[in-house]
Each structure stands twice: as C-alpha cells, then as structure tokens.
Structure 1
C-alpha cells in the first residue's frame, strides 16, 4: 500500500512472486499457499477528517486535532506513516507535527507534515485510513468512538446534535455537535451538484 508520497509498494504480481518464491524454498512442493490481501483491498476506501483545535507555533509547530490515538492507533503501535493536508488548502506549507487531543507524549499522528497555514477550525484530511484505523479505535481516555460515514449517492441532510450514530463496528456513539453535510462538502471542495455525498 502507498500510504505516503515516497512509498513505492511493489506491483501485485511482484509481491506474489516474491512471497511464493520465498515460501516454496521452505514448504513441501504440494503445499497450498493462501494469501490474504488485507489492507490492499480497503485502505484506500476511506479517509479520516479531523478538525484543528489548537495551533502552537514554535521550532516545531504543533497542530492539535480533535482525534488522536483513540481513533488512529497505527502510528503509535507500529510506526505506520500517513500523510495529511488542510482540506481547503491542499498541499504545500510548513512542516508541522499533527498531534492528538489525548494527554500522552506519544499521541503524535504525523511528524514533519507540510500543512498550509493551519488555523483553528480547519478540516485536516488523512487519506488511506480504510484499513485498521476504525477497527482499532476505542474509547481511550474517555473519547467517544468516531462515527463512520461513507460516500454514496443519497439525499443531503443534517445530523442532529447528540443523535446516536451506528459505526460500521456496531458501536453506538453520539456527537456533541451537529454535522452539517452541506457545510462539510463545501469545506472540502465538493461541488454542490456533486452526486457523491456523505451519508450515514
């Protein structure tokens, strides 16, 4: 999977050939290999959207988001690298550390990520989070699990404040604030007449 711009994942054919060649050296000739493709099927199917809650300038600018290790544990568990951008100002900017809201020194999602002039209230998009981010999420430090949304053709609507929403994992969560889909779509640059919208 290509999580970061400089990742160079092998082609499927190359990956399978390397894996099977190595396995054949150690297994009986009649052994049946079963390969589970896992994240390559689902990683690109999702992105995570965060809201910037504080920006602390300094030698390392810290951009705090309204999520963190409770909903994106991969960077802390095994060093998974992600990239991010301010949704309304894609690409470029000065290197920042994207940090979570939890009171933990290890709650850093991305280090030295160029973000263009982040300010409180901005939406930060982290692509390629379809594998494991949501399934590993929890209620750490009292955080509510994040609702899961999908892109599909549907009627645009407003989610009421405090209304429970089912996540794809079957956990009921509640939002403190209303999620205005029209506003979010405008903020991340989707046209008003775009048929691909966020749905519950």
Structure 2
C-alpha cells in the first residue's frame, strides 16, 4: 500500500510539473485551495485576439452598454515553419541614346549557385547538430512539406556552410576559445559521415 501511495504521489507531482502548475509540496493535494500557472515568457511575441460581446444593448432592460473591464487568458501556440520561394528579378535598362546597358547586381548567396536561402541552411544545421536529426529524416520532413530534396544535396549544403564558417572557427580558436575547436571536429566528422557513411557507395555530389 505504501509503495502504491508513493507511486501515485510521484505521478501527481509529474502531472503538476508538465501542466505548468506550481503547488506547495508541504500542503496535501486534497487541501490545496488554489493553483497558479507559471506566466508565459515575456519575450515571446503576442497576438491579441479581442472579443466583443454580441449584445449591443442590455438584455435585461435594453439600456446602453458601457465598458466595465476585461478578462484575459493566454495560450501557448506553435507557428509551424513554412517554405517559400524568393524570386529575385534583376532589371536591365538600356540607354535611349546609345547602346549602353545597365543591370542590377546579383545578391550574394551563402552557397554559390545554390537554391537554399540562409534561413533554410540554418535550419538544416541546427536540426543536424543541435537536435541530432539525420539528413535523411530531414529530407522526409521536407518531402511532407511538398519539396523533394535529396540527402546528398543537404550534405553538400552542410559541407559548404562549414567551409563558409571556417574563418570564424579559426578566429575563435586563436582567441583561446577551445570549445570552438571541439565544435569544428564534430562538424568535420559529421560531414564525412553524411557524405560517405560506412558501407555506402560513393556518388557524384549535387551542386544545386
């Protein structure tokens, strides 16, 4: 019986922790009078949904309604990531008096001649090295979002990004931050395994 009560108490405490309720552990659960939820972080953006009463006049006497107060409650919501295509149009102009032609310069890209924007590249790197999400699973997620990208292509993006960040990594290493060197080793090993895993046949890399 004592073991069952202890297990029940642990599950009740876990329920309070996951639901965000803070209760005084010194007070028995059945005697607690109030519960307080932890406030949501202030740095998160807020979307205000303001609801006005449907009644424009008093339902009891028909009199005019005046503002009294407000009741508010917050709900934590997840905004799903979405893919979009950015089409860059470079305008050309010609002189009306001679054969001179001018053209807007092309913006720089993180991966030369690559189709991935900086936000997508950052997401791939974060998912791989911070969330430990393999590239083949990332391709499956992107496919469900309507875009088919090969695992080899994502691997080449990772390779290009690591080469792009190499000067920064070297500068951090020379400044005495030893942690950056361990990060560099993890990136290099991850790239090698992603491009040529044990037992896999080597294929020509994709450049798009």
Tell me if TM exceeds 0.5. Answer: no
Bigger RCO of structures 1 and 2 (CA < 8 A, at least 6 apart): 1
**Larger C-alpha radius of gyration, 1 or 2?**
2
Q: Select the structure that is richer in helix.
A: 2
With normalisation by structure 1, the TM-score equals: 0.23
With normalisation by structure 2, the TM-score equals: 0.22
Q: Select the structure that is richer in strand.
A: 1
